[in-house]
Amino acid sequence: MIVSNMSSASPAPEPVSLASRQPVVPADRMVAEMVPPPRFDGVRFDTYIPDPTQPSQAAAVQRLEQFAAALNNGGGAEPKRRWFRRGGSGAAAPAQSGIYLDGGYGVGKTHLLASLWHAVPGPKSLCTFVELTNLVGALGFQETVRALSGHRLLCIDEFELDDPGDTVLVSTLLGKLVDAGVKLAATSNTLPDKLGEGRFAAIDFMREIQGLSAHFDTLRIDGDDYRHRGLPEAPAPSADDDVVTKSAYAPGVTGAALDDFPAVLDHLARVHPSRYGALLEDVHAVFWRGVVPVTDQSTALRLVVLADRMYDREIPVVASGVPFDALFSEEMLAGGYKKKYLRAVSRLVAMARDGAERVPPAV
C-alpha cells in the first residue's frame, strides 16, 4: 500500500514496466484465486451502508441475508429450472437457484456479492464473468464442470454477454452447475433477459438467454455511484516529468509500474485477459505517461478488464495526458458497451483520486 510520507533521502527501487511483463498463470492457481479481491476482503453485510433515499439498497441486503441463511441451513430442494422473475422488496427468500443483482455502476453490487460469499461456508468461488469464461478456456468445459460442481455457491461479478459464443457456453455451464446443486449469485448492469442487446443478434440466442435468466431471481438496486457521491472532481492530469519523478519515489519493492500509456494498450493485446491480475502482481501504484483517447473497441474492452483488476487491488494511478473521463468518445459511450466504459471511467477516476491523495508530490 502506498504510504503518505516518503523519504527524501533516496528514490525507491527502479519502477517496473507492465508492458514488459509476460505472466503465466497455471490453471490450478486460477481456481484457487477465485475469491473476493483484496478490496473486498473485509466487507460484510453490516459494513454496507444503504443510501436512505434508495430503499432498494436496504431491501437487497435483507434479501441476500435471507438467501445466505437458507444456504447455511441446507437450502432445501429446488426445481432444476425456474423462469425469470423479479423478487419483491422484503419478500421471503425461497429455495432458488440464484440471485441476480441488477443496478448501475457504483451502487455497491460487488460489496454485496462479496458479503454473500463471506457469509456462506465453502466450497465456494467468486470470480468475474471474464474470469469464468477464461477458466473454461484454460481447463476445458468438462473439467470446469467437475471443478465447480461440488461447490455450495458460485458468485459471478460483472455478468455480461459480449458475443454468441459466451451466451451458449455460459448457459450450458450454469445449467450443469444448477443441476449439480450449486447456488448462483451474480451482478450486472443489465437485466438477465436483456443480456447481449446492442452487442450481437441477441434475438437469435433468446433460448439461451432465457435459459440463463431462468436460474435467477432478480434484485434491482438503485442509487448513485458511491465512488463520486459528495466527492470533489477528478484531479487534473499530471505533467509527464511529474509522473516519472513520482514513480521514482513510490515506496515498496517493485511497488511502482511506469509505462507510456499507448505501450500498455499494445501489450494488453498480447496478454490473455485471464492474466491481467498476474500482470499487476506486486504492483502498488501505476504511473502512465501520455494517456490518449481509446478509439478501437477491442482495445477499449481490454482496458476495461485491466481497470477492473487494478480497482480490485486498490492500486492508485498517476497519469499525464487526457483526463480519464475523456477516454472514450461519445460514439463509443452510445454503443452496446456503454455501461462497461462508464464503469471503467468511474473506477479509473477513483484510482486517480487515490493517486493524488496517496502518492505525495516528488521532492
Give the pLDDT confidence score for residue 270 in this predicted structure.
Answer: 94
pLDDT (mean) for 8-32: 78
Under the banding of pLDDT at 50, 70 and 90, the label for residue 79 is: very low
Q: Who has greater pLDDT, 209 or 346?
A: 346
Q: Who has greater pLDDT, 164 or 62?
A: 62
pLDDT (mean) for 167-178: 86
Write down the mean pLDDT value for the chain: 80
Under the banding of pLDDT at 50, 70 and 90, the label for residue 102 is: confident
Label residue 270 left, alpha or beta by phi (over 0 means left) and psi (-120 to 50 means alpha): alpha
Give the pLDDT confidence score for residue 19 in this predicted structure.
Answer: 94
**193 near 162, Cβ under 8 Å?**
no
The answer, as to whether pTM is greater than 0.85, is no
**280 near 310, Cβ under 8 Å?**
yes
Per DSSP bridges, beta strands 217-221 and 85-86 are: parallel
Give the pLDDT confidence score for residue 337 in this predicted structure.
Answer: 81
CB proximity list for 160: less than 8 A, separation 6 or greater: 129, 188, 189, 190, 195, 339, 340
Grid cell digits, residue 176 = 450443469
Residue 98 has pLDDT above 80, yes or no: yes
User: What is the percent of the chain where pLDDT is above 70?
Assistant: 76
Q: Lowest-pLDDT range, 53-67, 153-167, 223-237?
A: 223-237
Give the pLDDT confidence score for residue 304 in this predicted structure.
Answer: 92
**23 near 275, Cβ under 8 Å?**
yes
Q: For 307-353, what is each residue's pLDDT tens digit?
A: 999 998 999 999 999 999 889 988 888 887 887 888 899 899 999 99
Residue 220 has pLDDT above 80, yes or no: yes
**64 near 100, Cβ under 8 Å?**
no
